[in-house]
Amino acid sequence: MFEQKREEKEAACNVWAALLDALYEKIEAVNQKRKKTQKQLTQGQLEQYRATKAARDRAEGGRVSSRSSSGEAADPASTSQPPGGAEGTPDDGGSVETLDRELARVRRQLALTVENERSCLKKLRTHLEHSAPLPMKGMPSPERERSSAARRKWMARRLQLEQDAELVHENIVKLRERLGGLKQRKNAFVKVRGFPAGTRGCANAALRFSAYDITVDE
């Protein structure tokens, strides 16, 4: 249990580091674009741009304040939440809490399946290291028959172990696809509805950064 918790914390820290690196790269790209644009503008163009932007900001601020002061009410139908609060509709994939529970379940299942794959591959390696000898020329007939039977048994076991490992690997691929789909649904839900209460900590780092189109593979 302690080892599992340590691995989870280490993975969460790695995600944080990757997200911060991605954020730094995005900020650098925006900064370089700003510098390039600024160099292309003359001083007069820059002052004109700032004046136009300030006028536009004042106009937008005036429209917002006039709507607020006039007591203009929003349409109740457009602001009311569906029964159940943040549960949402079938189209938006349910609530974040529901998706979180499903994500946790799939992650646990994936971890167990990965462990199962390691076990299958270890059994296969051990089996291959102790192969049954081939029947040799000149062997007495009873010994040759025993050797052939042992070889057939060894080959059948090898085939079974290879099939087991292949089946487990296919399950891992499906679970990873399922996990990726759930993450996309969760990110889309958050972009529409915003962050629910309590989305803090390393476990939700990827979710919070996804709102700014910054994503990394976990």
Write the pLDDT tens digit of every residue in 140-188.
778 878 888 888 898 899 999 999 999 999 999 999 999 989 888 888 8
Q: Which of 195, 209, 120, 108 has the alpha carbon at shortest distance from 163?
A: 120
Higher-confidence residue of 199 and 32: namely 32
Tracing tokens 């509709």 back to the chain, one arrives at: 89
Q: Is the pLDDT of residue 218 over 60?
A: no
Q: What is the pLDDT of residue 84?
A: 38
Question: Which residue is it, tokens 């962050």?
Answer: 195
Q: What is the pLDDT of residue 72?
A: 44
Mapped onto helix, strand or coil, the DSSP state of residue 194 is: coil
Would you say the pTM of this structure is higher than 0.85?
Answer: no
Residue 47 burial (C-beta neighbours within 10 Å; 0-12, 13-18, 19+): exposed
What confidence score (pLDDT) does residue 90 get? 38
- Write down the pLDDT at residue 78: 41
Mean pLDDT of the chain: 73
